[in-house]
Amino acid sequence: MIKRIPSVLLLAAVIACPVYADKDSDDRQEKAAQKLQHEITVTANRIETSVKETASSVSIITREELEKLQKRTVYEALKEVVGLNTIQNGPTGSSASASIRGANSEHTKVLMDGVEMNDPISPSRSFNLGHLLIENIERIEIIRGPQSTLYGSDAMGGVINIITRQGQGKPRFNLSTQGGSFNTLTENASISGGIESFSYSMGISHYRTDGFSAAGDQYEGNHEKDGYKNLSIYGKAGLSLQKNISLNFSFRTCKTNSDIDSFGGPYGDDPNHIENNRSLILNSNFRALFLQNRWETKVSLAYIDYSRTYDNPSDELHPFSSDNSLYKSSLVKLDWQNNFYTHDTNTITAGLEFTHEQGESEYHSLGIWGPFDNIFPLQTARRIGAYIQDRINVSGRFFSTFGARLDNHSKAGIAFTFRLAPAFFFAKTGTKLKATLGTGFKAPSLYQLYAPGTIWGPIGNQKLNAEKSYAWDAGIEQNLFSNHLTLGLTVFSNRFKNLIDFDYLHGYLNIGKASTQGLEFICKATPGENLLLSAAYTRMEARDIGTDANLLRRPKNKFSAQVSFNFQEKSDMTITVLYVGKREDNFFSGFTSSRVSMDSYTLLNATAACDVLRHTRVFIRFDNILNKRYEVIKGYGAPGFSIYGGFKLDF
């Protein structure tokens, strides 16, 4: 179990450090940097690129927005992003995922500072967003559409890149705490800063909540609350060895404890089913410039380690059964990237990637029929990829990228992908026309390849091929009234083949085909210096080509809107609306399941914050103000009206 860290100890740690009063100057510099960064994406082309100069569909969530909306997890921050569908099976800490443009959640590649975080031992090699707190996160970039040309396997639907904070300037000390509904408490302490050749940022976060029943309490037999605890420690440091040579190192470790239920729906409660997670992420990066800064080379080495355990002893509801399990995985990745600034009009990016992953698991149960054991022995897989891309900029009016990639997976073999992305910008009218065409692939997971069979039949299949996708999009962006109004419309189409599905007679097979198509509309307006309006709408059709049925949990319509007020830079208020339309899901009852239609829902949220002292900011957050009863996944609970408040000290 994770012990609670008293706020008094965190406060004492901050007070014991020296305090610098020159905060306003640093704040102005930081806000100016944030505004500049908002116009830059590092994910679309693996190098800093103006959003105006890319044809990719990009959404950026800045640190300023995260703090303004008082989001606590990355999952919460992604809920309103256009083109994304987010799901979570219960309260904070439950399994959570995001899918892009109707693709499966495992087709979303999740990165942190460019390092892939998808779990090698999860059945489909997806990533659980439910444990990632937003502390130390500078920005989140979401690139929609296949990105395998630059990022390899798993990026068939798109990429979510979480970029952590880099310290700068005089030492800054932050202490924040937040509490509220469901007996929730969050505590965070951090320090950051830097000198001419060295920068640093580090901190610790603690989160706990009593939660609510993961198996929805609107169903009979579900009354037990499912709590959650999270302890995260993180850090990042940079060192400039010479004018053109630098080293960077970052780490993040997380330990969580979650109460979970057996299933969603009636009598899904389980009073003593516990999930424990441990994760460690290490990343080192070497960067150098040669040939009069025309050749930039980057070498990164990353290591990720995951461990999950489940313990479910017998209880009053399940007096004759118990089970426990362990899942362990790790990944080592070496990435060598080179950027050649050959001409003002051309930048060539080329590189090599090597990934080695391994995983193992064991499951033990005891029931009325006796003991049962299922052992997944240690298995490994390797991927080697080579990529090249040319980024073109002609007179600030025509922009294009063309890239290709070749990957070799130790079991699935060779995969070739490409991507073409041109854009035209007409400065006189503020109009950008853009389009992309590309392919993606996903190698089979360790579980899909090697899972041992049972008395009921085979599971793993070492003859599986990679899943593949073909996609295009086209759109227009229009700036009006001296950039005070921005409108954007993009239509997209994706086609997936060789999807890996489970067949009860033959195990995993490449038998699935699917298609998604739709449109995305965005609107941003700043009618006044202190007023920001934004709206986003996604319309999507997602179908299984084999059965012509709608893909599960994909709403046809999703709409979000936000109104933000800023009062003399001392206080602000934000109101958000999220509408999620009807979608289909499977509802399990006993040993059978049936397809059901889930109702649409609308959530109204609000936040407010105010500077009460020179170094102190207080805030309050209201979620689901209308107390809407809804389900994200059929049978599982979702929070009703809730309120949170807290303060932040910044020296």
What pLDDT sits at residue 583? 96
Residue extents of the structural domains in the chain: 7-18+28-650
Give the SS3 label for residue 448: helix
Cβ(160)–Cβ(111) below 8 Å? yes
What pLDDT sits at residue 20? 34
Q: Is residue 32 predicted with pLDDT exceeding 50?
A: no
Cβ(522)–Cβ(487) below 8 Å? yes
What pLDDT sits at residue 276? 97
Distance CA 3, CA 595 (A): 42
- Helices and strands in the chain: count of H runs, count of E runs: 6, 33
**Where is pLDDT greater, at 8 or 407?**
407
What pLDDT sits at residue 6? 38
What pLDDT sits at residue 490? 98
For the ranges 242-246, 373-377, 587-591, the lowest mean pLDDT is seen at 587-591
pLDDT (mean) for 235-245: 92
Percent of the chain scored above 90 by pLDDT?
A: 82
**Where is pLDDT greater, at 249 or 530?**
249
Query: Residue holding tokens 């460690």?
Result: 280
Compute φ and ψ for 186, nearest 5 degrees. Answer: -125, 135
Q: Is residue 2 predicted with pLDDT exceeding 70?
A: no
Reference 368, options 324, 322, 321; nearest CA is 321
* pLDDT tier at 25, thresholds 50, 70, 90: very low
Distance CA 635, CA 286 (A): 48
Q: Is residue 568 predicted with pLDDT exceeding 80?
A: no
> In CATH, what class is 7-18+28-650?
mainly beta
Compute φ and ψ for 326, nearest 5 degrees. Answer: -140, 135
What pLDDT sits at residue 529? 83
Q: Is residue 348 predicted with pLDDT exceeding 50?
A: yes
Classify residue 122 as exposed, middle or buried by CB count within 10 Å of its CB (0-12, 13-18, 19+).
buried
| Residue 202, strand partner residues | 191, 235
What pLDDT sits at residue 543? 96
Percent of the chain scored above 70 by pLDDT?
A: 94
For the ranges 22-36, 66-80, 214-228, the lowest mean pLDDT is seen at 22-36
Count how many residues are written for the chain: 651
pLDDT (mean) for 415-427: 96
Q: Provide CB contacts within 8 A for 616, sequence distance 6+.
A: 647, 648, 649, 650
pLDDT (mean) for 518-527: 96
List, for residues 49-65, the tens digit of each pLDDT value: 999 999 999 999 999 99
Q: Is residue 38 predicted with pLDDT exceeding 90?
A: no
* pLDDT tier at 34, thresholds 50, 70, 90: very low
Reference 257, options 272, 275, 233; nearest CA is 275
What are the residue ranges of helices labelled H in 99-217?
Answer: 148-151
What pLDDT sits at residue 293? 92
Q: Provide CB contacts within 8 A for 249, sequence distance 6+.
A: 236, 237, 238, 282, 283, 284, 285
Distance CA 27, CA 191 (A): 15
* pLDDT tier at 510, thresholds 50, 70, 90: very high
Distance CA 577, CA 558 (A): 11
pLDDT (mean) for 507-511: 95
**Where is pLDDT greater, at 24 or 168?**
168
* pLDDT tier at 431, thresholds 50, 70, 90: very high
List, for residues 350-370, the tens digit of each pLDDT value: 999 999 999 999 999 998 888
Average pLDDT, the chain: 91
What pLDDT sits at residue 438? 97
Q: Is residue 31 predicted with pLDDT exceeding 80?
A: no
What pLDDT sits at residue 5? 37
C-alpha to C-alpha distances, 273 to 269, 276, 357, nearest whole angstrom: 9, 10, 29
What pLDDT sits at residue 590? 63
| pTM, entire model | 0.93
For the ranges 121-125, 584-588, 629-633, the lowest mean pLDDT is seen at 584-588
* pLDDT tier at 591, thresholds 50, 70, 90: low
What pLDDT sits at residue 570? 85
What pLDDT sits at residue 455? 81
What pLDDT sits at residue 470? 97
DSSP 536-601: EEEEEEEEETTT-PBPTT--SEEEEEEEEEEETTTEEEEEEEEEE--EEEEEEETTEEEEEEEPPE
Compute φ and ψ for 165, nearest 5 degrees. Answer: -75, 140
List, for residues 155-199, the tens digit of each pLDDT value: 999 999 999 998 888 999 999 999 999 999 999 999 999 988 999
**Where is pLDDT greater, at 276 or 593?**
276
List, for residues 328-337, the tens digit of each pLDDT value: 999 999 999 9
